Amino acid sequence: MFGYYLELALRSLKRSKALTALMVLAVAMGIGACMTTLTVLHVVSGDPIPEKSHALFTPQLEPRDKDNGFYSRGEPPEQVSWQDGMALLKAHRADRQVLMTGGMAPVQPANPSQDPFFVHARYTTAEFFAMFDVPLKYGHTWSATEDERRERIAVISSDLNEKLFHGEDSTGRTVRFNGADLRVIGVIEPWRPHPHFYDLNAGNYAESEDVYMPLGTARDIRGPRAGSRDCWGVGANVEETTLETSNCTWLQLWVEIDDPAHVAAYKAFLVHYSEDQRAAGRFLMPVNVRLRNVVEWLDFQKVVPSDVHLQVWLALGFFVVCLVNTVGLMLAKFMRRSAEVGVRRALGASRGAVFAQLVTEAGIVGVAGGVGGLLLALCGLWMVRQQPDQYASLAHLDMDMLVATFAVAIGATVVAGLLPAWRACQITPALQLKSQ
Amino acid sequence: MLDIRPILSTLHRHKVTAVLLVLEIALTCAIVCNAVFLVRQRLDWMHISSGVDEANVVDVRPVNIGDTPDMHGRINGTLAALRTIPGVDQVTLANQIPLGKESWNSGIKLDPNVVAPVMNVTNYYGENLLPTLGAEMLEGRNFRSDEYAWLDDITGGSKDVIIPHVAIVTKFVADRLFEGHALGKTIYYDDIPLQIIGVTQDIARPNVNDRATTYGSIFLPVRMTEGLGATYVFHTKPGQADSVIKAAVAKLREMDPNRVILSKRHYSDVRDTFFASDRAMTRLLVGVCIALLIVTALGIVGLASFWVSQRRRQIGVRRALGATRGDVLRYFQTENFLLATMGIVLGMLLAYGINIVLMVRYELPRLPVTYLPLGAVVLWLLGQAAVYAPAQRASRVPPVEATRGN
């Protein structure tokens, strides 16, 4: 039966080409706009590390000596100081813990004819790679021992490996970073979590770093920091080289707690630590700790740009207009065929059969609109990628969105066709036959 | 006008289609009004003044590899060499530039005993930065050369360095904190008292994250050192910007091959980058508005054509009874006018509804009333234009159609 409806539908669509084209165009434009913006939303609001996001937490403490409510609004700082970071790192109270900061410096290629170029770096303690599931291509990463010894070693990205060593296994070779020689001990596979959740100072959708080295090593070679630092007390009089002993927060601390039952215990530990620091006179403010997991953290930091939400609403509005338009046109088209429906009804077709046939017709418009919408969405995403925003380069249609495009296109058009089809099958056969 | 009653009774028989058309016009009206308003907001924002003499300012940002001994002498030498470049009016090493990416901020206070700062401002460092940016002093004076201190001496805590105790503020800061009478007053920066010796025109801060304090900038007599985002800023003679950039880059490289040039740009590039995503959003909004209007127009054409073809006999009868072609044309145009009016009225209500949501969620101002008549005119014209071709076709229906069976 469906085959027959399909044939009837195709025939009818061919009969009024202009009207059909208008409907398909409207659906395609609406779908194209919606899918473009929804894909962007999907990309920017995704979970950067789905297998582990519930187990990774960033502890926040209140170490400041006075409340300048101006910046904090009751929230502890987003980063930690060297003293607190080191103390929490060495306490080993979570399954894994990592203390780090971002950096940026020139790399000088061995070949002197090649100009130095800038790379982003991560100065981090050893468990970074295990904690964030960073895939390794060659060599190995380092351990707490190398952190302790502040060894001149680095793990580099495959991009940098390509640029400096033509993609070969470069372990044992040397990278000249900010004038210091670092021995390459590992190369990682391409890896780019987005959002760049572990350090949003780099930019919410920043690319991942090209050079990773032990935090202590970076301090020894005076690796230039890239990120924010917030100081209190006599904050302006702090030099970059004395950050370890100053009242500044400038490091990111992340911990992994695999067993959800241990989260409360870790939070209690943070409270306990803060109380100890208050007792010692280091912390002067009331104890104020936070332990947010990845998703809560991204939410708290309002990572998804508000323009993206606005665009989605705009596109949905546009889609609704397109659908209303399609309903109107479809109604016009179906009503025009009153006579045909009358004849079919008179010849014994049930209301259900007529209804099914007309809805099939709507579905075909939906499929055609979906194809058109897909093309427009690809076009739209290409335009998004030309935009300057950091997240723009991520805007690609994935399989989920592809399936969603067709599902939405067909679903919406069928829904749009329900009212016209229902109206059309209310036609009394006798009346139509008479007027013939 | 006489046609209105029969039109209404005809529409009554096509309730669903008429309602759909009204709905479509209403939605379009509501979305377009708000989108145009958003575009207006963005355009206003994109045209704010930076306070910089934009045509004649360029900056070149070098970064050094490794440590550099004798920083002060090196910078003085570099500045002296850069000053000899033809076309250079002024040159300085600044910590940041208006509407740039990185920013140096702090909270300032009016009373050292009060814990909370009264305003968050950005701090500009760099000898002679104000004339280099081409900024005008409104009151007071610029810094004297003996008032300057080197940044690293201050942060290094050298005992023989006199920490500056003077500052220049923008008009915005003067107005907000001292009702315009800022000269001679004291502000506290990290508990250091600073006497205001000058008020300059408004100069935007870099990395604006709160538009209400876009011009919250203060200038301190601090000589910037290289590194940490420091950039050489030039004020060039008219039309010499390009040649200055080229010569400056060559000179910086020649003086020290270990310098990597991180960026070199006209001030207009800084501005373009700063507003790039607003510009993209504006284009998108305009694009959606145009697409919406097209879709709505096509919808009107489609439905009107359908109505015309349905009413051929009725039109024929009217023609046979003496209606002129003009009467028929006017009939369809009036019909569209009525539908559009209903859509516009509904659309205006909807527009205000959407605006309220935007006000709450995105802190947007209220939609100005002037948008309503403008939106109405646009949609009326759009409707009339869209209905014209089908109405023309209707007017060409011959009277003989009255005798046909259909």
d(CA A31, CA A369): 8
DSSP string, A281-295: TS--SPP--EEEEHH
Q: Are A121 and A212 in contact (CB under 8 A)?
A: yes
d(CA B249, CA B58): 12
Q: Are A218 and A123 in contact (CB under 8 A)?
A: yes
Q: Write down the residue that tokens 């609403």 correspond to.
A: A313
* Interface mutation vs chain A, best among B29, B108, B289, B295, most A CBs within 10 Å: B295
Q: Write down the residue that tokens 């510009």 correspond to.
A: B279
In this predicted model, what pLDDT tens digit does every residue of A326-341 receive, in sequence order?
888 888 888 777 777 8
Mean pLDDT of chain A: 87
Q: For residue A151, give Cα distances in angstroms to A87, A176, A180, B260.
A: 21, 14, 12, 27
Beta carbons within 10 angstroms of residue B8's beta carbon = 12
B chain contacts of residue A318, beta-carbon cutoff 8 Å = 31, 288, 291-292, 295
Query: Which residue among A108, A117, A238 places its CB closest to the CB of B155?
Result: A238
Nearest to A79 by CA among A94, A96, A61: A61
Contact A69 B31 (CB under 8 A): no
CA–centroid distance for B404 within its chain: 62
d(CA A398, CA A392): 15
Rounded to 10 deg, the angle between the B71-83 and B241-255 helix axes is 140
In this predicted model, what pLDDT tens digit does every residue of B304-322 receive, in sequence order?
888 888 888 888 888 888 8
Query: Which residue among A240, A317, A388 places its CB closest to the CB of B276?
Result: A388
Contact B115 A118 (CB under 8 A): no
Contact A236 B189 (CB under 8 A): yes
B chain contacts of residue A70, beta-carbon cutoff 8 Å = 107, 116-117, 120
Beta carbons within 10 angstroms of residue B242's beta carbon = 12
Instruction: State residue A69's pLDDT score.
Output: 46
Instruction: State residue A343's pLDDT score.
Output: 81
B chain contacts of residue A319, beta-carbon cutoff 8 Å = none
B chain contacts of residue A327, beta-carbon cutoff 8 Å = 20
Closest chain A residue to B351, measured at CA: A317
Closest chain B residue to A380, measured at CA: B284
Q: For residue B151, give Cα distances in angstroms to B100, B162, B204.
A: 20, 11, 22
Element (DSSP H or E) covering residue B274: helix B267-310
B chain contacts of residue A108, beta-carbon cutoff 8 Å = 65
CA–centroid distance for A93 within its chain: 30
In this predicted model, what pLDDT tens digit does every residue of A186-227 receive, in sequence order?
999 999 998 999 999 888 888 899 999 999 999 999 888 888
Distance from CA of B279 to the nearest CA of A (A): 9
Contact A106 B38 (CB under 8 A): no
More confident residue, A373 or A398: A373
Q: What is the ipTM of this complex?
A: 0.82
Instruction: State residue B170's pLDDT score.
Output: 96
* Interface mutation vs chain A, best among B298, B305, B312, most A CBs within 10 Å: B298
Q: Write down the residue that tokens 């323009």 correspond to.
A: A307
**What pairing do the DSSP bridges indicate for beta strands A180-188 and A153-157?**
parallel
Instruction: State residue A73's pLDDT score.
Output: 65
Question: Which residues does B115 contact at the CB level (< 8 Å), separation at least 6?
Answer: A66, A67, A68, A69
Q: Give the mean pLDDT of B157-181.
A: 88
Query: Which residue among A224, A317, A328 places its CB closest to the CB of B21?
Result: A328
Sequence-ordered alpha helix ranges (H) in B137-255: 151-156, 171-178, 241-255
B chain contacts of residue A232, beta-carbon cutoff 8 Å = none
Is pLDDT at A173 greater than 70 in this prediction? yes
d(CA A118, CA A184): 18
d(CA B31, CA A316): 11
Is pLDDT at A275 greater than 50 in this prediction? yes
Secondary structure class of A232 (helix, strand, coil): coil
Q: How big is the A-B interface in CB pairs under 8 Å?
A: 156
More confident residue, B308 or B52: B52
Question: Which residues does A138 contact at the CB level (< 8 Å), separation at least 6?
Answer: A161, A169, A170, A171, A186, A187
Query: Which residue among A25, A118, A331 places its CB closest to the CB of B17?
Result: A331
Closest chain A residue to B273, measured at CA: A388
The answer to which of A40-54, A73-87, B149-163 has the lowest mean pLDDT is: B149-163
A chain contacts of residue B61, beta-carbon cutoff 8 Å = none
Q: Give the mean pLDDT of A287-298.
A: 93
Contact B302 A236 (CB under 8 A): no
Instruction: State residue B80's pLDDT score.
Output: 94
DSSP character at residue A209: P
Distance from CA of A388 to the nearest CA of B (A): 6
Instruction: State residue B272's pLDDT score.
Output: 92
Question: Which residues does B6 contact at the CB level (< 8 Å), separation at least 6?
Answer: none
Instruction: State residue A80's pLDDT score.
Output: 95
Q: Three-state SS across A253-279? A: EEEECCCHHHHHHHHHHHHHHHHHHHH
d(CA B131, CA B92): 10
Q: Give the mean pLDDT of B138-149.
A: 92
Instruction: State residue A44's pLDDT score.
Output: 84
Contact B288 A315 (CB under 8 A): yes
Residue A171 bridge partners (DSSP): none
Contact A237 B296 (CB under 8 A): no
DSSP character at residue B128: T
Contact A387 B154 (CB under 8 A): no
B chain contacts of residue A16, beta-carbon cutoff 8 Å = none
B chain contacts of residue A307, beta-carbon cutoff 8 Å = 277, 281
Instruction: State residue A436's pLDDT score.
Output: 45
Instruction: State residue B67's pLDDT score.
Output: 66
A chain contacts of residue B227, beta-carbon cutoff 8 Å = 224
Phi, psi of B162 (to 5 degrees): -90, 120
Phi, psi of B107 (to 5 degrees): -100, 140
Is pLDDT at B92 greater than 90 in this prediction? yes
In this predicted model, what pLDDT tens digit does every residue of B182-210 receive, in sequence order?
999 999 887 789 999 999 999 999 988 78
Is pLDDT at B25 greater than 60 in this prediction? yes
Of A419-428, B121-130, B361-370, the range with the highest mean pLDDT is B121-130
Token duo for residue B112: 């050292």
Is pLDDT at B136 greater than 60 in this prediction? yes
Q: Give the mean pLDDT of B45-67.
A: 89
pTM, 2 dp = 0.82
B chain contacts of residue A332, beta-carbon cutoff 8 Å = 17, 302-303, 306-307
Secondary structure class of A386 (helix, strand, coil): coil
Secondary structure class of B168 (helix, strand, coil): strand
The total number of residues written for chain A in this structure = 436
Token duo for residue B153: 């001496």
Q: Are A44 and A195 in contact (CB under 8 A)?
A: yes
Q: Are A387 and B277 in contact (CB under 8 A)?
A: yes
More confident residue, B211 or A97: A97
Contact B298 A106 (CB under 8 A): no
Mean pLDDT of chain B: 88
d(CA A420, CA A431): 19
Contact B117 A419 (CB under 8 A): no
Contact A224 B284 (CB under 8 A): no
% chain A with pLDDT above 70: 95
Residue B189 bridge partners (DSSP): B108, B192
A chain contacts of residue B302, beta-carbon cutoff 8 Å = 18-19, 22, 325, 328-329, 332
A chain contacts of residue B285, beta-carbon cutoff 8 Å = 314
DSSP string, B201-250: ---PPSS-S-GGGTT-EEE--EEPPSSTT-EEEEEE-TT-HHHHHHHHHH
Contact A435 B406 (CB under 8 A): yes
Query: Which residue among A116, A317, A328 places its CB closest to the CB of B27?
Result: A317
Contact B281 A68 (CB under 8 A): no
Residue A221 bridge partners (DSSP): none
Distance from CA of B151 to the nearest CA of A (A): 9
Contact A236 B106 (CB under 8 A): yes
Distance from CA of B222 to the nearest CA of A (A): 12
